[in-house]
Structure 1
Amino acid sequence: MKLLVIFIVHAICIPCFSFDVPGKDLPLTLDYYKSTCPTVFDVVKKEMECMVKEDPRNAAILIRLHFHDCFVQGCDGSVLLDETETFQGEKKASPNINSLKGYKIVDRIKNIIESECPVVVSCADLLTISARDATMLVGGPYWDVPVGRKDSKTAGYEFATSNIPTPEEGLISIISKFHNQGLSVEDMVALSGAHTIGKAQCRNFRSRIYGDFHLTSALNPVSETYLASLREICPASSGEGGSNVTAMDNVTPDLFDNSIYHTLMRGEGLLNSDQEMYTSMFGIQTRRIVSKYGGSGGFNFFEQFSKSMVKMGNILNSESFVDGEVRRSCRFVNT
């Protein structure tokens, strides 16, 4: 009941941001499905409401799935393709295997849309819209989603392995990976703020809590208590508890807000990749941005997150507009 109240309250006061599609040559528009499938946004919103009320973590799962899609070949639904005897997908790449979820949620939405508008709405668009609604439903901002993407017939296993930042990666390397996608340092810090919801596996934060956590949190007694609780969840031995999970934001784990930046400023970031934005010797610019997003009641964060999500969603696979399709099933190319 308490969770439902949170949803209702934030549905009333969620900031709404609207942006023009950057680049006049992009084949995306806000009204792409106006005549061919006018109900698509309503269907996605309704289903996401059900999924998030069932488990708030589903919001983080869909946002992350969208992120991993866009960083490999662009936002083309390639991450959704199943592996077959003759086709190597992205699901078994090291950043995705035993980590990415949400495929069944996308399947559910796709099945409903297919019954209303057969072979009209791409899986890439459904995933992009779902990520926006997921954000909004846990208290985050709303933004207009340009649509008209096509689904790729290919996948990029190697690119999934090399393009996607890892939880233990250093700041300079992560900045480089975002830059390679046309995303700025400001975009990187804003998009990383999605970690204000969701959970991380022990294997992804073990080195952090048995490494420099003490140093970044300055031996604060409260931080020491938090660290002790993390070590109960995640044993030091690499052979134990690797799949155990805990919230990345230990203050408001089910609410999309700017709490994650307060966590970083206290030196209590769960993931090394996040904490580096504030404490790395190379993080002069990122430290300033983290502090900015931690203030202003979260408005600066919400505004930039919305812009950055649109920008990321506009990373396109140009080949998919030549040789792509609208899949009937998000798991397989059409036959």
Structure 2
Amino acid sequence: MPGRMQSRAGQTAIESQEGAPHIPVLLAEVLSALAPKPGGRYLDGTFGAGGYARAILEAAPDASLLALDRDPTAITGGAKLVSEMAGRLTLAQARFSELAEEAQRFDRVPLDGIVLDIGVSSMQIDQAERGFSFRFDGPLDMRMGREGRSAADLVNEAEEGVLADIFYHYGEERRSRAVARAIIEARRKAPLTTTKQLADLVAGIVWAEPGGPHAATRVFQALRIAVNDELGELVRALHAAEEVLAPGGRLVVVTFHSLEDRIVKQFLAERSGRAPAGSRHAPVLTAAQPTFSLVSRGPVAPSEAEMRLNPRARSAKLRAAARNEAPPRPAGPDLVALAGLPEPQPRRRPRA
């Protein structure tokens, strides 16, 4: 079949628009956790190159799938698959945080399953003009939806303290303050407008292990998360999924770094029987009724064979849960707080 190839690990590889194979991460495990059934109604909140979408529809005869992506390039590129699936696949340009509204708009509520593959797609990384990667020199953009504030806007306009917080909390970069100071100094002479300019600047400050990730990896991750509000999107999407899944419906989430996984882990732990922990924001008075049951007790990681075939899979983790009949809960403040930067702490007055 054109546009497909079967890998040695038995995974489906989908050709990207540039012709390079795109291999969906943890595909077999996603299908096992989602358990698509004939005639079911499913939603893929992160369509990308369509790897999960194709596999779900091929696994479940007569099932229908609503697929979302905030990137207009992904929607355009999916037209061929829409035609091939003959009415079973609907594509919509939308953020996955808007999945409840989109499911209502296309009359798909309740849903039998939702899958989310969080983070930037390999297609976006491989396109220099999108500005996601330091491997190619391109404009410092990083906008998944091609709208709003770019990474260049953030780097050239944000205050030093804001940049340092972004690098530290979203990228876990230990030299965040030094990088932020260097950016401020550099932009006084001329704006930073390309990925190479920023990558070279960071490489002059952050030491990288020989053979390890590039020195700018964590800074680029942090900027991408901030530009696209990725963690806030994830929190909103999890609560939206709770609203629109049918009893027994499955929620399957694949994450690629610890910040994302921590949010998913905490959400599912709270929703599957553990009462939300009290905090100074919202002390718990009574235990809330569970809304999900866990499909697997811990995260599912890729096999050694998959990691050899697809290095992008190395950091992937899958978590899944099944919806029950309990009503959805409001968003908890502690979970929302995980998605944002911490509030600035007031400076202590020196002792007299």
Settle same-fold status: TM greater than 0.5.
Answer: no
Structure richer in helix, relative to its length:
1
Structure having the higher Rg: 2
> Normalising by structure 2, what TM-score?
0.28
> Normalising by structure 1, what TM-score?
0.29
